[in-house]
Amino acid sequence: QLRLVESGGGLVQAGGSLRLSCTASGPSFSSYAMGWFRQAPGKEREFVAAISWSGGSTWYEDSVKGRFTISRDNAKNTAYLQMNSLQSEDTGVYYCAAGPKDGAIITVVRGSVDYWGQGTQVTVSS
């Protein structure tokens, strides 16, 4: 079983940058595709980005392409989301997700994950 803990959220002005981290505790982190999702006030949680277990494949929601970069360091059991050129529309709670074990990246993209973090707030002021 994995436990995921996000960090790095905060308040930033439009056009600024933040880097979110998701640190996992538990076995076999490198066997899980990882993803980031977000939930804006009054809206449903939506997919943002995903990365395969090896880091060789990534997938992005259209509105963040070219601005956000997902990466991972399996030696540190950590996944990252570098967010640049932030816009007010990026405001929300950002969640890290993992799984299923040995699953394909598309599974995470579709939201079929085994584990969720508790979320970290990102607020972009205009």
Spatial distance between the Cα atoms of 81 and 85, rounded to a whole number of angstroms: 13
Which pLDDT value is given to residue 27? 86
* Nearest Cα residue to 20 out of 11, 10, 5, 9: 9
Q: What is the Cα–Cα distance from 82 to 112, expressed in whole angstroms?
A: 23
pLDDT in tens, 67-103: 999 999 999 999 999 999 999 999 999 999 998 988 9
pLDDT digits (tens, 9 = 90+) for 16-74: 999 999 999 988 999 999 999 999 999 999 999 999 999 999 999 999 999 999 999 99
Q: What is the pLDDT of residue 26?
A: 87
